[in-house]
Amino acid sequence: MLYKLFILLLSFTLVSQEYEITSDNIEIDTELNTINYEFNVIFKSDEIFFTADSLKLNQKNESFIAYGSPIKIKFFDGLEYIEGEAGQVEIDTEVLRLSKNVSIIKSGNKINSKNMTIKLSNDKS
């Protein structure tokens, strides 16, 4: 089953959560307020986990973009864990975007797409 775009509403806000990022190489640019992680990147929070080749974190707006071939991702939608992969993952305060050959498994159903947008909850409570 191929979808052009699949929108899934989730009940979590990643930016307000604590997270941990590890990698083999880290480059900090204090002038641009960015951190670049390269090689064997692992991102962990309470509700999302992924591995990637590289990740660029913009500390000004707490957004990031990750690249991988592919990125293996697992996240919790409030009811169950969803697993999948994509070539690129972007997260900002309101949206999780998966792109470049997205494939996820939800409730035993496999969903393939070029792009997937997941709206993050704005509920800060």
What is the pLDDT of the chain when averaged over all its residues? 80
The pLDDT value recorded for residue 17 is 61
What predicted TM-score, i.e. pTM, was given to this entire model? Answer: 0.75
Section 34-45 average pLDDT: 92
Q: Could you state, in order of their start, the residue ranges of all structural domains in the chain?
A: 2-119
Residue where the block lists tokens 């949206």 = 95
Residue 119 has pLDDT above 50, yes or no: yes
Q: Each residue of 62-104: pLDDT tens digit?
A: 788 999 999 999 987 778 888 999 999 998 877 888 999 999 9
Residues β-bridged to residue 88:
67, 99
- Closest C-alpha among 40, 105, 101, 113 to residue 74: 105
The pLDDT value recorded for residue 120 is 66
- CATH 3.20.20.140 assigned to domain 2-119? The reply is no
- The residues near 1 (Cβ < 8 Å, ≥ 6 apart) are 109, 110, 111, 112
The pLDDT value recorded for residue 121 is 62
